Amino acid sequence: MAVIFQTYSVAEAHLKVHVTKDSGLADLFVCSVSSVGRATGDSIWYMTESRARATSRIYLSALAEAALVVFFVDAPAKAGWRKARKLSRAL
């Protein structure tokens, strides 16, 4: 389950993420959902304002610094890994 907290501190982040508008650059297609119960796997994200509730803390970074490049899609069926899975742990 991917419950994501966006942090503004690099030191606090588990992962540096770049959000792209070019789907061809993306490692992962992500769909954001409005309920924590709908968040599944690495690609269906629930964005939380609670740092304590999050399974991952991300820092939005420039493309050159990012460990993961994501592209947001409008439906869960379109979400998923587009390139080899780059993470050592689940989001």
- Looking at the predicted structure, is the pLDDT value of residue 86 above 70? no
Query: Contact, 42 vs 90, CB < 8 A?
Result: yes
What's the confidence (pLDDT) of residue 34? 97
d(CA 44, CA 23): 16
What's the confidence (pLDDT) of residue 46? 98
The answer for 8, left when phi > 0, alpha when psi is -120 to 50, beta otherwise, is alpha
Tens-digit pLDDT profile for residues 7-56: 999 999 999 999 999 999 999 999 999 999 999 999 999 999 999 999 99
pTM greater than the 0.85 cutoff? yes
3-state SS, one letter per residue, for 4-64: EEECCCHHHCCEEEEECCCHHHCCEEEEEECCHHHCCCCCEEEECCCCCCCCEEEEECCHH
pLDDT band at 61 (very low <50, low <70, confident <90, very high): very high
What's the confidence (pLDDT) of residue 89? 64
What's the confidence (pLDDT) of residue 90? 63
